[in-house]
Structure 1
Amino acid sequence: MRSEEEVREQYEFLKEELASEEMRHRGVEELFTHYKRALGWVLEEEHM
């Protein structure tokens, strides 16, 4: 299992990547959006 810090780093990285101009391709954007959402769920569940 990854540490909370590792998950948070990945989450922040993905947020920045999704905001960049290079990630405007629809398929890539959708893939990263799903991955970002999954990481967010992991973070929320660990803090409940």
Structure 2
Amino acid sequence: MSQTEPEPRPGSAFSWNEDWSATVVGLVLIGLVLVGAIPDWLVP
């Protein structure tokens, strides 16, 4: 098995992955509950 590291993409220091996606979705849900767009019982 090769021990080489994957090459970083030039010009991109931020990689969008599932952790960041989940964070953004969670913040959007909290924001929607706070402004009253969706009821708080709907979000677990």
Q: Structure 2 length normalisation: TM-score?
A: 0.50
Q: Quick one: higher RCO (CA 8 Å, sep 6+), 1 or 2?
A: 1
Q: Structure 1 length normalisation: TM-score?
A: 0.46
Between structure 1 and structure 2, the one with the greater Rg is 2
In proportion to residue count, which structure has more helix? 1
